[in-house]
Structure 1
Amino acid sequence: MTPENTVLLVGATVKVLQAAKAHGLSVILIQHKNKFTPEQAELADATLIADYTDWAAVRPQAEAAYERWGFATALGLTDPALDAVARINDLFGLPGTSYEVSRLLRNKFRMRQRLAEAGASTVIGARLLEDRQSLFEFGAEFGYPFVVKPTDAAASLGVFRVATPSDVDDVWRSLEALRGNGPARGCGGLFTVTEVVMEEYADGPEFSVESFSFGGRHVVLSVTEKSTSDGHFAELGHTVPARIDRFRENRIVGATQEFLDTIGLTDGPSHTEIKFGRRGPVVIESHNRIGGDRIHDLVEAVYGIDLTHYAIGWPFGLVDELRDRPKAVGGAAVRFVENPAGTEGTVVSIDGFDELRSRSEVIAAEALVSVGDEVRAVRDNNDRLALVAATGPTGDAAVKLCEELIENTLRIQVVPK
């Protein structure tokens, strides 16, 4: 290994490791013991095990790797690894996202503070939750409904809508239970809920913006339409490109670029979630990583851009800078399956996936549960049972195909308790 051709990957998946090797890079992997697989070790040139959510644990491993082999870039593309990578960048003076910027993106309250300080157009009211009474006080100041959520979790975990003062007691009890249970369900078990933020409610449909930044110039690849349902915050689908008019799309693109400038992100992928309602575009949250839920597959299918390939290659000058937004070719969509029983139950059978995967239009068909798993009604992304992603000549056609395949081919049986 030579330092100038070596990347330190923190918490990388097999796909990320494969992308690094395809670029001809040497790879040092720092992996959490709960996420390690033999295939990862086979792909990496060196593998170190450490809890990368704990800086005291990961720092000595990074220092040892830097002293023994050296590396030119550190990268992480999953939420729990982002702060560790940023600290490594600062420690060794490497290019890439700093810890200051990473924390602004990871901590939703700090992000709100930064936007307010900068007088950004996407400012909404926000306060840290202190106690039960602070919920009433926030509602009195900013009105109902409002939203309560952990400052640094993911997958819609622990997000609650406080519609009226009568909801406060139930929400408070739910938050206390969430904060008292240690590592949260889902999110890889690598998040522990501590701080909670209260935010003004932003109305309107929600979108995500998939971008890549080149030395401070932000190129939006896709405005992605998000599908949700009343009663919870779980994401039930995504459509690329979003089925919106050019005026709203341009407003969303502009708000995203302004936001990334304000936060200070200069290089690499980002996934920014925006609602567009009466206030215009309002940033809900953002991440310096590729979007989950197979969004990267939808983007590649429609725009021909492999975001993982770019994320690994750009720091080494191995990919060309995108000068303009790519043109869409067709459409793509992913739809998720809710518990058909609508209540707590047990998965007793799963069928239809082999047939789905045999179809050329299907990008992905994946069960997110196994036979014997206990499931419940959907509250957050971790409660979804399966996904189907497909392409079509348009976004409408892709959505229709996903829904038909789920209805007619996919069979997941849940027996209620």
Structure 2
Amino acid sequence: MAQERVLIIGGRIDNVRKAVEQGLAVVCLQQPGQFTPQHAELVDAALLVDFSDWSVVKPLVSAAHKVYGFTRVVTTGEAGVEVAGRINDLLGLKGVSYEVARRLRDKLAMREHLARVGAATVPAAEVTGPESLEAFGAAHGYPFVVKPVDGIASLGVQLVKGPEQVAGAWERIGELRGSDHAFARYFPLDRFIAEGYIDGPEFSVEAFTFEGRHLVVAVTEKLTHGNFVEAGHVIPARIDRATERRLELAVAEFLDAVGLTHGPSHTELRLSPAGPRVIESHNRPGGDRIRDLVEAAYGFDMEAYTVAHPCAGLPAPGERPPLLRAAATRFLSAEPGRVVRVSGVEEARGLDGVQDVELSVSAGDVVKDLASSWDRIGQVIAVGADADAALAACEAAAAAVVVVTGAEAEPTGPEPGR
């Protein structure tokens, strides 16, 4: 029997390695600058183009399909979900359609769809000028949130607390709109949405859908800064089973409403006084290495299932795997400025429970204001007998890492950096 072949879009080298380990052959659609010698050793073929340009991808993928006959298209990254949907539609392959992928990527389209089908949601409208912000506040009250329709990493998210903040919010939109940030090719900041603010503790639900059946693998508790940028995550969330069940049911209803029938999902929501309300969702595994936390806590490899299921080595579980231990991550930060000295990384790595310490800056680099997730300078991952123990190990490791900065960096505008 011929070996099954899969097309993998973007992602880290682990995507390819895990597919190969499950007996699949791989065709890789990757940005030219991100294709490595390790990729070359593992794949049957590589399509090295800017996969954000559908006019280039469409004929290339059509030709590659005739030659290599891949049966599935998969991606673990936000930048690849829409093109994966387009390829599924173009070639008639099983998987998430472009319509569903776009519905999840476009936050306004998601809100409008949820309202249209009668699902739980909050008011939302496109921002077209300061008058539209004033009208939204008058109609739905304050506070409300303003954010990019296609944004990620909390970049450009604002909380408008009252009419006196409308002018400043519109000014900030003007600064952000069309800005040439590091990932503008995939996530342009051109359209903005105003939506009702959801108050309450924040969580994410990591799920995998098998033929329309949504299996919740983990409920993640989120730790955030005051500006919506995430400071850390812990699995399992420190909530009782009844609360956890409410979150699980809300996410299952949401995924049904948006039409997701295959693959991974990462759904962010808050437990408001009116019940769980979805903030946003994605048909890919959670970022910030949440997939690694899920695997450490439950032994479920979300990444492997995304790139290789269905296959003999990855059967569909009937229920959530048992909890093995708790896992957490905390992100590292420092005062804005140029890095003078770094210490404590090896000490942090040697602490009990610590699984990994990443630091992306060294002497001479610039630490920016924490305006988005891209401005964080590293993270620590740790495990423990329970959530408190895992978080305590993270806090100890984060405290051990010292990043000293000097003179404040020159202003750089809205560009998110790394």
How far does the alpha carbon of each residue in 1:74-99 deviate from its partner, in whole angstroms, 9 at most, with x for none?
Answer: 11110111100110000010011001
Distance 1:66 1:313 in 2: 18
What is the CA distance between 1:337 and its match in structure 2?
1.6
Counterparts of residues 86-235 of structure 1 (less than 5 Å)? 86-120=85-119, 122-182=120-180, 184-185=181-182, 187=183, 190-230=186-226, 232-235=227-230
- Gap runs ≥5 in structure 2: 409-418
Q: Is 293-302 or 282-291 further displaced after alignment?
A: 293-302
The change in CA–CA distance for 1:400 and 1:131 in structure 2 (over 3 A counts) is same
What is the CA distance between 1:358 and its match in structure 2?
4.1
Distance 1:373 1:146 in 2: 36
The change in CA–CA distance for 1:106 and 1:19 in structure 2 (over 3 A counts) is same
Answering whether residue 298 of structure 2 is matched by residue 272 of structure 1, we say: no
Q: Please tell me the residue identity of whatever aligns with 2:99.
A: E
- Please name the residue that 1:357 is paired with: 349
What is the CA distance between 1:13 and its match in structure 2?
1.3
What is the CA distance between 1:345 and its match in structure 2?
0.8
8 A Cα contact 2:206 2:217, kept in partner: yes
What is the CA distance between 1:317 and its match in structure 2?
5.3
What is the CA distance between 1:351 and its match in structure 2?
2.8
CA RMSD of aligned residues (A): 1.7
The change in CA–CA distance for 1:131 and 1:188 in structure 2 (over 3 A counts) is closer
What is the CA distance between 1:238 and its match in structure 2?
0.2
Distance 1:104 1:60 in 2: 25
- Gap runs ≥5 in structure 1: none
What is the CA distance between 1:189 and its match in structure 2?
5.7
8 A Cα contact 1:213 1:267, kept in partner: yes
- Please name the residue that 1:50 is paired with: 49
How far does the alpha carbon of each residue in 1:296-325 deviate from its partner, in whole angstroms, 9 at most, with x for none?
Answer: 111111111111111122144541111012
8 A Cα contact 1:12 1:77, kept in partner: yes
Distance 2:167 2:178 in 1: 17
Distance 1:385 1:243 in 2: 26
Q: TM-score, normalised by structure 2?
A: 0.94
What is the CA distance between 1:283 and its match in structure 2?
0.2
8 A Cα contact 1:73 1:315, kept in partner: no
Q: Is 124-133 or 325-334 further displaced after alignment?
A: 325-334
Q: Please tell me the residue identity of whatever aligns with 1:91.
A: L
What is the CA distance between 1:374 and its match in structure 2?
2.0
- Please name the residue that 2:242 is paired with: 247
8 A Cα contact 1:101 1:265, kept in partner: yes
1:416 aligned to 382, 407, 416, which one? 407
8 A Cα contact 1:364 1:388, kept in partner: yes
Query: What secondary structure sits across from 1:388 in the alignment?
Result: strand
Distance 2:343 2:13 in 1: 26
Query: What secondary structure sits across from 2:250 in the alignment?
Result: helix
Q: Please tell me the residue identity of whatever aligns with 1:181.
A: S
Distance 1:213 1:76 in 2: 15
What is the CA distance between 1:356 and its match in structure 2?
3.0
8 A Cα contact 2:208 2:217, kept in partner: yes
Answering whether residue 327 of structure 2 is matched by residue 332 of structure 1, we say: yes
Instruction: Give the number of equivalent residue pairs.
Output: 408
What is the CA distance between 1:244 and its match in structure 2?
0.8
What is the CA distance between 1:34 and its match in structure 2?
3.8
Query: What secondary structure sits across from 1:236 in the alignment?
Result: strand
Q: TM-score, normalised by structure 1?
A: 0.94
8 A Cα contact 2:351 2:397, kept in partner: no
Identity %: 43
8 A Cα contact 1:89 1:98, kept in partner: yes
8 A Cα contact 2:269 2:277, kept in partner: yes
Answering whether residue 304 of structure 2 is matched by residue 309 of structure 1, we say: yes
8 A Cα contact 2:220 2:237, kept in partner: yes
Distance 2:288 2:74 in 1: 20
8 A Cα contact 2:22 2:311, kept in partner: no
Distance 1:264 1:347 in 2: 47
Distance 2:39 2:212 in 1: 32
- Please name the residue that 2:388 is paired with: 396
What is the CA distance between 1:12 and its match in structure 2?
2.7
